[in-house]
């Protein structure tokens, strides 16, 4: 039980440590690079989770892969934490900051609630290999969309995805 708590906690420590670095990237290069780095980190965690499954008969090696997974997940979370908010504020303007932060919170906590239950169900029916395998398209599809966008700041893709939702609630 103690080992599980330590492994899970590594993710949150890594998230905390990456926030300052993420802010530096966002301030110097904009939010798009931080989002792309986080998506690559999340995609990598899916691959490492598959490796943990392959080594399930060797508990120490499997645990090491799980530790790597948690570290990369935490790092990716740290990179993506402030990026969407900054990106949306740059897209829609400062007067919509409160709405943007609210929507970001709803999206984050909604994703946690939905993702946790989906993850348990996937592991139940498809084990951890299935979870790692199904994680890949979830991360790489948005990443490919961002990479194909010719606008270096990525504003047009975000505006096209979010504009109807944000402007619908205009005061």
Give residue 150's pLDDT: 46
CATH of the domain at 137: 1.20.1250.20
For residue 32, the tally of other CB atoms under 10 A from its CB is 23
For residue 107, the tally of other CB atoms under 10 A from its CB is 11
Give residue 58's pLDDT: 95
Q: How many helices (H) and strands (E) does the chain have?
A: 6, 0
Q: Report the C-alpha gap between 127 and 101 in whole angstroms.
A: 35
- In the chain, the number of structural domains is 1
Which of the residues in the chain have pLDDT under 70? 135-171
Residues 8, 69: contact at Cβ < 8 Å? no
Q: What is the mean pLDDT of the chain?
A: 79
Q: Report the C-alpha gap between 43 and 40 in whole angstroms.
A: 5
Domain that holds residue 134: 2-168
Task: State CA 156 to chain mean position distance.
Answer: 21
Alpha helices per DSSP H over 59-96: 59-80, 83-92
What is the pTM (predicted TM-score) of this model? Answer: 0.67
């Amino acid at each position: 039980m103690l080992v599980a708590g330590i492994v899970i906690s590594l993710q949150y420590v890594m998230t905390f440590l990456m926030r300052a670095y993420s802010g530096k990237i966002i301030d110097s290069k904009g939010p798009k690079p931080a989002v792309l780095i986080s998506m690559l980190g999340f995609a990598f965690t899916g691959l490492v989770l598959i490796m943990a499954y392959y080594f399930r008969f060797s508990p120490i090696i499997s645990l090491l892969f799980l530790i790597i997974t948690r570290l990369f997940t935490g790092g990716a979370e740290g990179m993506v934490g402030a990026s969407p908010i900054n990106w949306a504020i740059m897209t829609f303007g400062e007067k919509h900051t409160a709405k943007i932060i609210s929507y970001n919170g709803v999206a984050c906590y909604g994703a946690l609630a939905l993702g946790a239950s989906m993850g348990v169900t996937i592991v139940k029916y498809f084990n951890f290999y299935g979870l790692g395998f199904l994680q890949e398209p979830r991360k790489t599809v948005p990443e490919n969309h961002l990479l194909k966008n010719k606008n270096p700041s990525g504003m047009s893709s975000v505006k096209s995805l979010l504009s109807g939702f944000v402007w619908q609630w205009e005061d």
